[in-house]
A and B are shown apart, each in its own frame.
Chain A
């Protein structure tokens, strides 16, 4: 690899720590990812689980381990990355390679490449759709329909495509058993089980979302389009999906001889988002442009006068100059007008309709089609009095219309009004942008109050625990915070805080409390006493009506107890890592900052080698999920148990619960979401001996 002046595009690749470096090198060298790997340069960032990758870093590709589990599937929503590849040695992509950077194809917003073996047992469609929601590609409202269609198409590609299972004919219980056994055999086989399945998504400029599912089977001839939605047909278990897909999608097409299915969705909400983003980008562009021009007072505005007769241009110019507008640019026909707009980016255009080469209608249309000029005021001037021309010019995008022969006062008045509007909009945008960037800064600061993954993993390791955490800020600033406080060799303190409300006030309070927690060297105290001290300080600092809920606890590895005190915190969960059974602990207590002399009881529960603890903010149990309900106490318990039983001790509990929550919660949360798990663990030597490879 050439050193020094490397001009090649640089890529940061997120890599699962368990994947061997040679396997990644081989995969890249095979051209499966980039067609000409020698033309790009790479850096690797390893992580034990997706939790370890910072959301503030951008990755070109995420290399997931072979036989991925639910944890790595969660990377689809967690990582700032749009290409996810399971790294399995038998992968042969054939005509599906390379996965990224194909110049002939439009850029994809998301690509996931998995082995059939892994994909078969994972809720891929669900996670794919959650990821689309979180990326703003589809709205929450159409997500359930998209998931249904993706699920059916995905099942078809896996079962009929890659596994080549024939599910036709009458399905009896015996036949069903046979099919099940055959499925297991084929999944284990090196021909069928190692075929790749690739899901992609991309949003078109018109807001439509295109999803493709690609397999490596022998191809599939789609049945008659007119097949009705008769799910009760008895001839097949799996073949009923297609009519269902057709009933949900805008359109369904097959390519690659039936080995690629393409689904199109039209999302009303999506359409709204797309032009908005373009508009903001456009405003940014124009703000810089106009700042240079110094558009503080209308008279400094740059005005383009497009008219084919010189006399008309001069008349308009003289009217404008007489009123102080001297920054004028001219165009003598339609084509010239477009060229001048591109060269000068005027603040306002006075446009004649009847012109040679390109008429005013076409100029309007062309300008409006370009996001950079979509909002530039255009005053059309015309001698046409008939309604048709007037309607048409507005349809094509003119802002206003002025009749020839021109009246000087009218021309000046209209020019000023449109310039002022433009100025106001720009100022408002500039203000919003500034506030936005300041909020962004505050968000980053608040996020940094919480421990980073490498920190809490390391601390957990020191105390023989596996610690996992997920923090997602609400759409505004929020008031959640958590942290770890090492006390001595066998005692570790942990706290979780939620300030009432959200927004700037709550965020400021978290900063206050954070400095209090870290300035008071009192963690050695009983948790109850500690909260009492903290409460007195906080009561002095907080205005009336503001308060926080908090839990502070100490895990004592020697005495095998967890002692804690709670100020109205959500009830912590204490469970068993082997059975998955868990119970709610008492979270009652007066919130912090309400009364000066609040008392807090220190409670003690056993915490031994099989225990786990789950702490969470109320967003977990007070967010309306896709079924229109909150996550109930019983539901959370059964979710925990299922997760523990399926994953065993070797999982990040908080991350797994968070992933399942995100699948069902709105993409934009109304409140901060924090979840932390502390699992007693025998850390395998392989992990503890791992040197830090972060580059």
Chain B
């Protein structure tokens, strides 16, 4: 998993690419720590470039949401496609996150 972050108008946008699976905990940790310093009111995770996610990856998204709740940051999942979209549907993530196309 790779990512690039961008801040504009109180919104942090993180573009995540590659596979997002159990082995990616350290990159994900770095991501969360980096974003925490931004103090943004919205965190957009652009996952259009993620081509595979497993249940551990979903777990990490939930952690991001928990983190967001602590700092009053809304977490948005943007652009899920293919297998990722399917997994989000199966896990009913629409009830937990704001999903955008």
Contact = CB atoms under 8 A, between A and B. Distances in A.
Contacts of B35: none
Nearest to A626: B82
A158 B96 CA distance: 29
Interface string B72-98: 000000000111000100111001100
Interface in B3-51: 17-19, 21-23, 25-26, 29, 32, 49, 51
A232 B92 contact: yes
Given A180-B26, A638-B17, A642-B17, A232 B96 contact: yes
Interface string A132-159: 0000000000001001100110010011
B91 A231 contact: yes
A68 to B, nearest CB: 15
B81 A241 contact: no
Nearest to B95: A232
Contacts of A240: 55, 58-59
A331 to B, nearest CB: 57
B54 interface: yes
Interface string A182-219: 01100000000000000000000000000000000000
A109 B95 CA distance: 43
Contacts of A144: 82-83
Interface string A164-186: 00000001110011011001100
Interface in A232-290: 232, 234, 236-238, 240-241, 244, 247
A123 interface: yes
Interface residues of B, number: 33
A198 to B, nearest CB: 18
Given A238-B59, A626-B82, A638-B17, A121 B23 contact: yes
Q: Number of contact residues on A: which range applies?
A: 35 or more
Contacts of B87: 148
Nearest to A176: B63
Contacts, number: 88
Contacts of A229: 90
Given A148-B54, A173-B63, A244-B90, A179 B25 contact: yes
Interface in A120-136: 120-121, 123, 126
Contacts of A148: 54, 83, 87
A615 to B, nearest CB: 24
Interface string A648-685: 00000000000000001000000000000000000000
Given A176-B25, A244-B90, A626-B82, A231 B2 contact: no
B54 to A, nearest CB: 5
B63 to A, nearest CB: 6
A627 B58 CA distance: 20
Contacts of A184: 26
Interface in B52-76: 52, 54-56, 58-60, 62-63, 66-67
Contacts of A121: 23
A123 B92 CA distance: 26
Contacts of B91: 231-232
B52 A147 contact: yes
A183 B28 CA distance: 14
B17 A173 contact: no
A625 to B, nearest CB: 9
Contact of A152 (B18, B54, B82, B90): B54
A221 to B, nearest CB: 19
A130 to B, nearest CB: 12
Contact of B22 (A155, A234, A638, A645): A155
B92 to A, nearest CB: 7
B59 A237 contact: yes
B32 A642 contact: no
B96 A664 contact: no
B32 A238 contact: no
Interface string A93-132: 0000000000000000000000000001101001000000
Contacts of B2: 642, 645
Contacts of B95: 232
Contacts of A628: 82
B25 A180 contact: yes
A689 B40 CA distance: 56
A172 to B, nearest CB: 7
Contacts of A176: 25, 29, 60, 63
B25 A126 contact: no
A152 B57 CA distance: 11
Contacts of A123: 19, 21
A236 B56 CA distance: 9
24 contacts: A120-B23, A123-B21, A126-B52, A144-B82, A147-B52, A151-B54, A155-B56, A171-B63, A176-B60, A177-B29, A180-B26, A180-B29, A183-B25, A184-B26, A232-B62, A236-B59, A237-B55, A237-B60, A238-B59, A240-B58, A244-B90, A627-B51, A638-B17, A642-B17
Interface of B: 2, 17-19, 21-23, 25-26, 29, 32, 49, 51-52, 54-56, 58-60, 62-63, 66-67, 81-83, 87, 90-92, 95-96
In the A-B complex, the 4 residue pairs with the closest CB atoms: A237-B59, A231-B91, A240-B55, A180-B25
